[in-house]
């Protein structure tokens, strides 16, 4: 449909909506979605029964709602899919991370005295890429080489440019022919295993430094962590983690006196250097052992100074809403038969995706599911994870907000105020679609929801 026809159609739809006698209720639904770009439509009923007599006390059905559906926020954490819901996720993550550093949300304040580090584990080099480096506030030349050697592809492996922060070339290899795409993709694929091995080795090294067995260590302390993965522009994942030592029962208990930031730092360094993942030898390929890069950054988190709890929580929360799109790739799956040349990504990302598809054909690597995770450059699993003891959970934080919403619904007369113990609630819901039609997006924008303006200008409506 030509754009002018689409606009005319959207305007007609918008006028119908504005004349709908249930416009106010529709607007309230949209307001409740908090500016979600792709609200989920639910159809269903909620019935409240008296537990003692079985009498139906109240029945809610979406039949009474505009279009017969209830619109709820999509709750994605991906900023690229829905800015409004990702913002909620970011804010929740911030509070959760912050609680683990300073207390709150059920975590005692004494947690702030526990040894706690901000650790960055990066991948090794897979070949020189254009980078922006700073020293003492000055930008350094990218890759200056005096002998200006040429590689087998006839390229000079040197770059003396002082790159701007928004330079498109950042993260691109100096020679794509020399760059180790296989290593990059395999590293992404095994990064979650490498992390798991690091976490296990950390406990072993802590025990060794204290002269304890693992079982004895467990009686004295637990290691709590929250981590977030981030894609560097070269398309490889790295991790930032908060690693904290607690007493044996978690954040409410005190770790032993020997467990200092210093001891933790040493254990982190040793564990990071010790762990590896071996890739099975493939026909025509080199055998590979993957490990973390040599640069392991571990710094104490403090309440004042350079690396504060607020800075760390802000950082982790920000990256929790991003996926591989930072590296210039896609946020949806790629089919193996897709024409990669049509994908709207950088050449570097396209090569990494192609490498995932190529390696995915090897039987020996089937467990890495490289084809399914090609859009994530081989990385699967969660970009942000926490250990059980870290602090509260997102579910808990969401439940608090839900309580708040529920209180509001009760006051506006939508839900009768029953005592939970005496009332049985039976809810039946089914998925009935998602998104805002172009006309609805227009009306939502008119009603002053900023994210809806975005949806009206390019958000998909299904």
Of residues 277, 31, 233, the one with CA closest to residue 131: 233
Helix (H, G, I), strand (E, B) or coil at 213: coil
Smallest Cα–Cα separation from 243: which of 291, 209, 208, 195? 195
Residue 359 engages Zn ion in binding (rule: CB under 5 A): no
What is the rounded CA–CA span in Å between residue 450 and residue 462?
Answer: 20
178 binds Zn ion (CB under 5 A): yes
Total residues contacting Zn ion (rule CB under 5 A)? Answer: 14
Alpha-carbon span 324 to 123, nearest angstrom: 15
Least separation, in Å, of the C-beta of 433 and Zn ion?
Answer: 14
130 binds Zn ion (CB under 5 A): yes
Q: Which of residues 21-50 bind Zn ion (CB under 5 A)?
A: 36
Among 68, 177, 416, 450, binds Zn ion (CB under 5 A): 177
Nearer to Zn ion, 80 or 253 (CB): 80
Strand partners, 56: 49
Q: Which of 142-150, 210-218, 319-327, 354-362 is the region at the interface with Zn ion (rule: CB under 5 A)?
A: 142-150
Q: Which of 14, 70, 99, 142 binds Zn ion (CB under 5 A)?
A: 142
Provide the minimum distance between the beta carbon of 42 and Zn ion in the complex, in angstroms, as a whole number.
14
d(CA 3, CA 13): 15
Sheet containing strand 237-246, strands side by side: 296-300, 116-121, 237-246, 222-231, 384-386
Identified binder of Zn ion from the candidate list 99, 117, 159, 277, rule CB under 5 A: 159
85 counts as binding Zn ion under rule CB under 5 A: yes
Angle of helix 181-210 relative to helix 347-359, nearest 10 degrees, comes to 80
Minimum distance of Zn ion from residue 80's CB (angstroms): 12
Q: Is 454 in the site for Zn ion (CB under 5 A)?
A: no
**Site membership for Zn ion, residue 194 (CB under 5 A):** no
Write out the DSSP string of 59-127: EEEGGGSGGG-EEE------TTT-HHHHHHHHHHHHHHHHHHHH-BTTB-GGGGGS-EEEEEE----SS
Q: Which stretch binds Zn ion (CB under 5 A): 64-72, 129-137, 344-352, 365-373?
A: 129-137
Using CB under 5 A, which of the segments 11-19, 138-146, 312-320, 333-341 binds Zn ion? 138-146
| 441 is a contact residue toward Zn ion (CB under 5 A) | no
Residues forming contacts to Zn ion in the complex (CB under 5 A) are: 36, 73-74, 82, 85, 130, 142, 151, 153, 159, 161, 175, 177-178
């Amino acid at each position: 449909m030509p754009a002018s026809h689409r606009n005319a159609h959207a305007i007609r739809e918008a006028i119908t909506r504005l004349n709908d006698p249930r416009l106010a209720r529709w607007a309230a639904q949209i307001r409740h979605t908090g500016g979600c770009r792709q609200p989920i439509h639910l159809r269903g009923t909620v019935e409240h029964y008296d537990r003692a007599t079985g009498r139906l006390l109240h029945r809610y059905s979406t039949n009474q709602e505009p279009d017969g559906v209830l619109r709820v926020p999509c709750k994605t954490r991906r900023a690229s899919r829905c800015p409004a819901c990702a913002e909620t996720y970011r804010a929740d993550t911030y509070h959760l991370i912050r609680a683990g550093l300073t207390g709150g949300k059920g975590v005692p304040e004494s947690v702030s005295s526990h040894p706690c580090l901000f650790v960055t584990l990066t991948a090794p080099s897979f070949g020189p890429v254009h980078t922006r480096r700073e020293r003492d506030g000055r930008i350094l030349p990218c890759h200056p080489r005096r002998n200006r050697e040429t590689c087998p592809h006839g390229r000079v492996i040197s770059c003396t440019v002082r790159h701007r922060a928004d330079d498109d070339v950042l993260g691109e290899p100096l020679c794509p022919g020399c760059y180790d795409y296989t290593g990059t993709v395999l590293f992404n694929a095994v990064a979650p295993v490498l992390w798991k091995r690091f976490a296990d080795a950390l406990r072993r090294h802590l025990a060794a430094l204290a002269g304890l067995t693992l079982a004895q260590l467990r009686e004295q302390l637990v290691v709590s962590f929250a981590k977030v993965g981030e894609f560097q522009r070269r398309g490889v994942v790295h991790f930032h983690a908060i690693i904290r030592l607690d007493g044996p029962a978690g954040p409410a208990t005190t770790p032993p006196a020997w467990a200092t930031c210093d001891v933790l730092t040493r254990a982190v360094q040793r564990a990071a250097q010790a762990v590896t993942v071996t890739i099975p030898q493939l026909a025509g390929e080199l055998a590979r052992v993957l490990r973390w890069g040599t640069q392991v950054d571990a710094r104490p988190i403090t309440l004042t100074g350079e690396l504060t709890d607020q800075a760390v929580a802000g950082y982790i929360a920000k990256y929790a809403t991003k996926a591989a799109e930072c590296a210039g790739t896609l946020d949806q799956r790629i089919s193996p038969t897709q024409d990669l040349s049509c994908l709207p990504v950088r050449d570097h990302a396209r090569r990494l995706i192609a490498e995932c598809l190529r390696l995915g054909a090897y039987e020996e690597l089937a467990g890495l599911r490289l084809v399914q995770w090609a859009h994530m450059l081989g990385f699967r699993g969660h970009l942000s994870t926490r250990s059980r003891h870290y602090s509260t959970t997102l579910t808990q934080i969401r439940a608090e907000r839900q309580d708040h919403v529920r209180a509001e619904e009760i006051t506006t007369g939508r839900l009768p105020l029953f005592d939970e113990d005496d009332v049985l609630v039976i809810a039946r819901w089914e998925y009935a679609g998602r998104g805002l039609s172009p006309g609805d997006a227009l009306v939502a924008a008119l009603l002053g929801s900023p994210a809806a303006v975005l949806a009206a200008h390019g958000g998909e409506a299904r």
